[in-house]
Amino acid sequence: MTPWAARLARAAYSTLLRVGTPAYLARLWWRGRAEPPYRHALAERLAHYAERPSSGWLWLHAVSLGETRAAAALVEALRARQPGLRLLLTHGTATGREAGAALLREGDRQAWLPFDTPGGARRFLAQFRPSLGVLMETEVWPNLLREAQAAGVPMVLANARLSERSARKGERLAALMQPAAASLALVLAQTEDDARRLRAAGAPHVQVCGNLKFDLTPDAALVERGRAWRAALGRPVLLFAVSREGEEAPLLAAWSRATRGAAPRPLLVVVPRHPQRFDEVAVLLRSAGLRMARRSSWADTPPPEALAADAWLGDSMREMPLYYGLGQVALLGGSFAPLGGQNLIEAAACGCPVVMGPHTFNFAEAAELAAAAGAAQRVPDLEAGLAAAMRLLAEPAALQQAAERSRGFAAAHRGAAARIAEAIVALLPGRLTAPA
- Rounded to a whole number, what is the distance in angstroms from the first to the last CA of the chain? 41
Beta bridge partners of 377: 355
Q: Is the pLDDT of residue 436 over 80?
A: no
The band of 430, judged by pLDDT with boundaries at 50, 70 and 90, is: low
Q: Is the pLDDT of residue 339 over 50?
A: yes
Q: State the SS3 of 10-36.
A: HHHHHHHHHHHHHHHHHHHHHHCCCCH
Identify the H or E element spanning 323: helix 320-326
pLDDT at residue 434, rounded to an integer: 39
The band of 55, judged by pLDDT with boundaries at 50, 70 and 90, is: very high
User: Is-cis flag, bond preceding 264, omega within 30?
Assistant: yes
Q: Is the pLDDT of residue 77 over 90?
A: yes
pLDDT at residue 429, rounded to an integer: 77
The band of 376, judged by pLDDT with boundaries at 50, 70 and 90, is: very high
Scanning 358-395, the segments in alpha helix (DSSP H) are 364-373, 382-393
pLDDT tens across 250-295, in order?
999 999 888 887 788 999 999 999 888 999 999 999 999 999 999 9
pLDDT at residue 25, rounded to an integer: 96
pLDDT tens across 108-161, in order?
999 999 999 999 999 999 999 999 999 999 999 999 999 999 999 999 999 999
Q: Is the pLDDT of residue 425 over 60?
A: yes
Mean pLDDT of all residues in 63-82:
94
The band of 435, judged by pLDDT with boundaries at 50, 70 and 90, is: very low
Catalytic position from the list 44, 51, 67, 404: 67
pLDDT tens across 192-247, in order?
999 999 999 999 999 999 999 999 999 999 999 999 999 999 999 999 999 999 99
Q: Strand ranges (DSSP E) for 137-189? A: 155-160, 186-189
Does residue 192 carry a catalytic annotation? no
Reported for 3-6, long-range contacts at CB under 8 A and 24+ positions apart, including other chains, are 5/175, 6/175, 6/176, 6/178, 6/179
pLDDT at residue 52, rounded to an integer: 95
Mean pLDDT of the chain: 94
Find the Cα–Cα–Cα–Cα dihedral 247, 251, 252, 256, rounded to 10°: 170
Q: Is the pLDDT of residue 433 over 80?
A: no
Strand, helix or coil for residue 363: helix
pLDDT tens across 235-250, in order?
999 999 999 999 999 9
The band of 34, judged by pLDDT with boundaries at 50, 70 and 90, is: confident
Q: Under 8 Å CB-to-CB from 408, ≥6 apart: which residues?
A: 373, 375
Compute the distance between CA of residue 395 and CA of residue 390 in angstroms, rounded to an integer. 9
Strand, helix or coil for residue 135: strand
Strand, helix or coil for residue 125: helix
Mean pLDDT of all residues in 392-398:
95
